[in-house]
Structures are given as structure tokens and as C-alpha cells.
Amino acid sequence: MEDPGGLDPCFPERDWSLQKGLLERGISGKSQVLFAVVFTARYLDLFTNYISLYNTCMKVVYIACSFTTVWMIYSKFKATYDGNHDTFRVEFLVIPTAILAFLVNHDFTPLEILWTFSIYLESVAILPQLFMVSKTGEAETITSHYLFALGVYRTLYLFNWIWRYHFEGFFDLIAIVAGLVQTVLYCDFFYLYITKVLKGKKLSLPA
């Protein structure tokens, strides 16, 4: 089992952005639930594979922060959660990626299938958030910055894979294809972010 980028370097910023911006509405609770599932499935090996104290602690922190974020959205900040627009059918993402992980993986073992499932699911976990933005027609500034940070983090993965292939001969087709899919999903948002948000305008989708 090979984690293509280790622990998510964007996670602390993502968690802070959510806590700071929840009251502004616009954060998809469904995307955060999917991210919580992603981290849980990916880091369940902490019970069987010990790498270091730091690695174990960070995996626990990632899982705990993910579920804390979900709790904050659906409990502490429930009054400001825009559930009327957060209506993406997540089963259309979870079920196909679970089936794909079962069929296409590096090794047919429970932990490897879970790791592969987390890679596939992460590549599309942002769709409920993008769908929510498309329904409202605009995004708050903090939400735009949050989405941009997630997109940059995934793009940096691509450079990491190029580096590792060049210097280590590492090549993971599953992780690379999933990463490319996720990056493509952000392309339209990147264009709007650069042409509007960076110029001080609110991100609004074309009518």
C-alpha cells in the first residue's frame, strides 16, 4: 500500500478555513462527510502498521478533525448550514468508487481495498461542494479560498509524482489517474478564481 503523498499538507488550512468560515454559509456538509470517510478508510492501517509515533498521531488527528468538522456543521453551526442547496446524492459517488476499489486495486486485501477506495473517493469528494456552488450561483470569499487551497494541494501531488518517477522510479497508476480526475474537476473553478476572486470580486457563476 503506497500513499501517494503522505498526510494531506492542506488539511490544517482546510480545517481552519472551515471553522472560520462556517458562519458565512456555503460549506458543503456532504463533502466534509466524504472527506471524513476518505481519511478513515485510508488510515485504518494505523492499527496494524506502525511507522512512527508522529505518523500514528497525525493519522489520529486527521480522522478526529474530519469528524469534528462534520459535527460542527451538523450540530454546532446547524442554524447556518445551507442544507437546502447541499443536495448532491453522495451514494452516486460512494457506491461506484467502492465497487471500483473492489475490482481495481494493487492487492486484494481489506486494507488495500480500503486504501484504494479512499483514493477513488477523494478524487470526487469535492463534487457536492462544487454542486452546491453551482446551485447558489456564487461562493463566499472564504469558501473560494478553501476550494482553491484544496485544488492547489491536489495539483502539487501531480508534481510530486513526476518528481518521484524521475528520481525513484515510482509510478502508481491508480493514484495518478484519480489525481488527474480531481485536478480536472477544479479547472473551471481555477479559472473563475483567478479572473474574479484575485481581483477582489465575489465568485459568481455565469448565468
In a domain, 194, yes or no: yes
Q: pTM, whole model, 2 decimals?
A: 0.82
In a domain, 31, yes or no: yes
Quick check: 142 and 62 in contact, CB under 8 A?
Answer: no
In a domain, 192, yes or no: yes
pLDDT of residue 14: 53
In a domain, 2, yes or no: no
Nearest to 10 by CA among 127, 141, 145, 140: 145
Boundaries of domain holding 91: 26-72+82-198
Burial 23-62 (b: 16+ CB within 10 A, else e): eebbbbbbbbbbbbbbbbbbbbbbeeeeeeeeeeebbebb
pLDDT in tens for each of the 207 residues of the chain? 555 445 554 455 555 455 555 445 688 999 999 999 999 999 998 888 888 888 899 999 989 999 999 999 999 888 888 899 999 999 999 999 999 999 999 999 999 999 999 999 999 999 999 898 888 777 777 778 888 888 888 778 888 888 988 898 888 999 889 988 988 888 877 777 777 666 666 666 555
In a domain, 174, yes or no: yes
In a domain, 77, yes or no: no
What is the Cα–Cα distance from 148 to 155, expressed in whole angstroms?
10
C-alpha cell at 83: 442544507
In a domain, 6, yes or no: no
In a domain, 102, yes or no: yes
Domain count, the chain: 1
